[in-house]
């Protein structure tokens, strides 16, 4: 029989449904029926969330009482090491004790209490201690003021600029709830290709209205700032042109006192409207955006002007390292490291640099950006991409958690073996003032938020990994599935089986062995081998790939010795990264004993095989999933199948001209 639709598709993982297991349900009812709330900043939203959850999952309305008889006791404790956001949960003689040192700990602890029910965990031996490993856990929205989302595949922006600040869409609160439930505590509202108008007073008032909602959930707002903002508005309103600002000056030169004054005044104005404003995110001198180099100044000189304006208010500057310039570096992958490493130590203390996980550009697979581990005196935070720009957008089911783990576990060897990215960003290798991570959001106004139901898992996993980069994928995945699909264990196993291999298979079929840039130039979706060949990588009848070794572009030398030696040697280079570092002869012998050609050809097939398997698997649990979501996912899978086939055919058509054995 088909499971009836009872939801709107809007709930995400906060999809509260009746607990099925009756003995467990009884135990939950006993333990969750009376709550002793602390008097804290978040007690209203905590009570609201608990009421909604407990009504739907257990059919009860909890009583909020302020004495020690309550079955859930929330109270402050003196354990300073819990910090601003950590919490403890214990079962003490059949009472649940939630303790925190600071207010936000209760908020996150409450979502944990809720997750225990959603995932049907037993409560008899609770002994939980959670402290986030990173303090700044942020979403970056590439949302334009006209409602479009750059590289967004889930509809238009969630921010209704035309209606703000008067009308507040109910989704703002749900967005905040979802983020709080996975630990996100900062959001950049607008695109890094920043329209300067976001800094105009009328927009700041709209931003302030959003901040009012988000702060109820411990989320701070940040804005992407256009470096040319202090300049006069231009007659050609092109955000990429340095002469279009919202100020009154003729320059944005960071050394000009008027420019510095402009930023100081603007920042004061922002804080008068948004007292807990987080700071600016800046894309400068990158892909046409204005920046300090327009005035022969360095990134540090530019960033520091903004940092000094923010400093008295406790705000920060997040400065992106995503720069490339084929005129200076023919191999664009090298630029970021060359431009930023010499500036290590030159940034003010409230500046964080933000680097994409890889040095090229959010490819399906890339070795880690070599700046990680190399920057020793500047906080460096990873920018991951939740939106699947090069990874099948909102059509393909690709679960990115395994890719992010690969990155987080990447050993830089900066201080010997074991200096992986997780240790670096959590300050375990060098002391770092800011421990932070950002993800480019995949949300939009589509009914299910992310375009594909399964893309919600990437948003969820990003938040959970930003909270704890060491959390196991198994746990994150299982908890997402249970709280999203409300399904039984056997369906959970099937869904896990669907999700887990998707990234690997996508990468193997769409960007085999880290070939990179294989899609068409503007859509980043359909196959573009013919356009990219012998521009982005080399191919001929003898082999394929980019020689980035000592006798090639020498990109390998940006890595610490052990990696450098390994990557430089075709025999030692991890096969996963082979084509990123080497021009590989088709007849090169792989670890398997097969030729590279044979493996490569096999690899290309993995995309179609994956989706065909997923269609079967999804069909097998039709009875376990509500019919609307079942159909919606099935439609995506069928579209994915079509597109994966087209991609494959295009690949085969292209490569057959070069492969020795056709």
Ligand X SMILES: CO[C@H]1[C@H](O)[C@@H](O)[C@H](O)O[C@@H]1C(=O)O
Q: Considering the complex, state which of residue 324 and residue 655 has its C-beta at the smaller distance from ligand X.
A: 324
Contact call for residue 299 and ligand X (CB under 6 A): no
Q: How far is the C-alpha of 633 from the C-alpha of 451, rounded, in Å?
A: 10
148 sits near ligand X (criterion: CB under 6 A): no
Catalytic residue among 366, 389, 406, 597: 389
Is 492 a catalytic site residue?
no
248 is an active site residue: no
Q: Which is nearer to ligand X, 284 or 481 (CB)?
A: 284
By CB under 6 A, tell whether 151 contacts ligand X: yes
Q: Note whether 425 and 469 are within 8 A (CB).
A: yes
Please tell me whether residue 153 binds ligand X under the rule CB under 6 A: no
The CA R_g of the chain, rounded to the nearest whole Å, is 25
Residues 6+ away with beta carbon under 8 Å from 512? 579, 600, 603, 604
Contacts of 575 (CB under 8 A, 6+ apart): 513, 590, 591
150 binds ligand X (CB under 6 A): yes
CB of 354 to ligand X, least distance (A): 10
Contacts 24+ apart (CB under 8 A), 416-422: 417/562, 419/373, 421/368, 421/372, 421/373, 421/382, 422/133, 422/469, 422/470
**Site for ligand X (CB under 6 A): which residue of 35, 116, 188, 192?**
192
Residue in 238, 287, 594, 649 annotated catalytic: 287
Shortest approach of ligand X to residue 362 CB, angstroms? 5
For residue 353, give both structure tokens.
């640099």
536 part of the interface to ligand X, by CB under 6 A: no
Q: Is residue 142 at the binding interface for ligand X, with CB under 6 A as the rule?
A: yes
Catalytic residue, from 361, 445, 488, 536: name it: 361
Contact indicator for 442, 387 with CB cutoff of 8 Å: yes
In this structure, how many other beta carbons lie within 10 angstroms of the beta carbon of residue 172? 18
Helix then strand then coil, % of the chain, to nearest 5: 40, 15, 45
Residue 283 engages ligand X in binding (rule: CB under 6 A): yes
Q: Which is nearer to ligand X, 321 or 477 (CB)?
A: 321
Q: Work out whether 361 is an interface residue with ligand X (CB under 6 A).
A: yes
Indicate whether 141 belongs to the interface with ligand X (CB under 6 A). no
* Binding flag, residue 193, ligand X (CB under 6 A): yes
Considering the complex, what minimum distance in angstroms separates the CB of residue 165 from ligand X?
Answer: 26
Catalytic residue status for 383: no
Does residue 525 belong to the site contacting ligand X (CB under 6 A)?
no
Smallest gap, in angstroms, from Cβ of residue 151 to ligand X? 5
Distance between CA atoms of 59 and 229, rounded to whole angstroms?
Answer: 53
- Three-class SS of residue 383? strand
Query: What's 590's DSSP letter?
Result: P
Q: Which of residues 71 and 458 has its CB atom nearest to ligand X in the complex?
A: 458
**Measured at CB, which residue is nearest to ligand X?**
361
Q: Are 487 and 554 in contact (CB under 8 A)?
A: no
Tell me whether residue 332 or residue 453 sits nearer to ligand X (CB atom): 332
Identify the helix (H) or strand (E) that includes residue 90.
Answer: strand 87-91
CB of 43 to ligand X, least distance (A): 39
Q: Give residues in contact with ligand X (CB under 6 A).
A: 142, 150-151, 192-193, 283, 287, 322, 361-362, 389
Enumerate the active-site residues: 287, 361, 389
């Amino acid at each position: 029989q088909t499971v009836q639709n009872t939801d709107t598709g809007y709930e995400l993982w906060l999809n509260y449904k009746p607990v099925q297991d009756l003995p467990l349900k009884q135990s939950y009812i006993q333990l969750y029926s009376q709550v002793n709330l602390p008097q804290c900043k978040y007690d209203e939203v905590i009570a609201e969330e608990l009421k909604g959850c407990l009504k739907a999952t257990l059919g009860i309305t909890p009583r909020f009482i302020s004495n020690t008889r309550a079955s859930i006791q929330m109270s402050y404790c003196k354990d300073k090491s819990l910090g601003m956001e950590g919490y403890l949960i214990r079962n003490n003689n059949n009472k649940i004790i939630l303790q925190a040192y600071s207010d936000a700990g209760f908020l996150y602890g409450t979502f944990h209490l809720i997750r225990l029910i959603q995932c049907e965990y037993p409560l008899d031996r609770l002994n939980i201690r959670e402290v986030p490993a990173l303090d700044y856990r942020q979403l970056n929205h590439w949302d334009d003021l006209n409602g479009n989302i750059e590289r967004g595949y889930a509809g238009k922006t969630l921010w209704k600029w035309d209606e703000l600040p008067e009308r507040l869409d109910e989704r703002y609160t749900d967005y905040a709830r979802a983020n709080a439930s996975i630990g996100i505590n900062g959001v950049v509202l607008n695109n890094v290709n920043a329209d300067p108008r976001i800094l105009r007073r009328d927009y700041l008032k709209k931003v302030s209205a959003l901040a009012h909602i988000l702060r109820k959930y411990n989320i701070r707002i940040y804005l992407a700032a256009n470096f040319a903002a202090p300049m006069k508005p231009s007659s050609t309103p092109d955000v990429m042109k340095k002469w279009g600002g919202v100020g009154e000056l003729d320059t944005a030169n960071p050394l000009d006192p008027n420019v510095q004054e402009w930023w100081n005044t603007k920042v004061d104005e922002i804080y008068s409207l948004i007292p807990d404003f987080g700071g600016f995110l800046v894309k400068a001198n990158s892909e046409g955006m204005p920046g300090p180099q327009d005035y022969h100044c360095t990134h540090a000189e530019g960033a520091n002007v903004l940092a000094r304006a923010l400093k008295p208010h406790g705000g920060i500057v997040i400065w992106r390292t995503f720069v490339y310039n084929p005129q200076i570096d023919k191999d664009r992958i090298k630029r970021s490291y060359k431009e930023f490493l010499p500036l290590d130590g030159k940034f003010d203390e409230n500046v964080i640099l933000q680097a994409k996980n890889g040095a090229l550009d959010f490819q399906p697979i890339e070795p880690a950006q070599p700046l990680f581990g190399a920057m020793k005196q500047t906080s460096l935070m990873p920018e991951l991409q939740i939106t699947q720009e090069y990874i099948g957008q909102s059509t393909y089911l690709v679960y990115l958690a395994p890719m992010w783990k690969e990155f987080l576990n990447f050993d830089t060897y900066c201080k010997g073996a074991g200096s992986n990215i997780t240790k670096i960003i959590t300050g375990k290798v060098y002391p770092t003032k800011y421990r932070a991570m950002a993800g480019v959001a995949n949300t939009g106004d589509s009914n299910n938020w992310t375009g594909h139901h399964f893309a919600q898992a990437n948003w969820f996993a990003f938040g959970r990994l930003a909270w704890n980069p060491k959390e196991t994928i198994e746990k994150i995945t299982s908890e997402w599935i249970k709280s999203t699909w409300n399904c039984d264990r056997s369906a959970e196993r099937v869904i896990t089986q669907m999700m887990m291999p998707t990234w690997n298979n996508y990468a193997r079929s769409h960007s085999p062995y880290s070939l990179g840039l294989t899609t068409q130039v503007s859509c980043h979706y359909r196959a573009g081998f013919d356009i990219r060949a012998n521009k982005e990588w080399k191919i001929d009848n003898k082999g394929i790939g980019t020689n980035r070794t000592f006798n090639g572009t020498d990109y390998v030398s940006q890595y610490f010795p052990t990696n450098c030696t390994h990557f430089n040697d075709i025999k030692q280079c991890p096969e996963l990264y082979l084509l990123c570092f080497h021009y590989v002869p088709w007849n090169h012998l792989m670890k398997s004993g097969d030729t590279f050609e044979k493996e490569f050809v096999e690899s290309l097939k993995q995309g179609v095989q994956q989706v065909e398997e997923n269609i079967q698997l999804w069909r097998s649990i039709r009875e376990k999933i509500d019919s609307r979501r079942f159909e919606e996912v099935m439609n995506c899978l069928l579209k994915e199948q079509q597109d994966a086939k087209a991609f494959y055919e295009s690949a085969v058509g292209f490569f057959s001209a070069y492969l020795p054995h056709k």
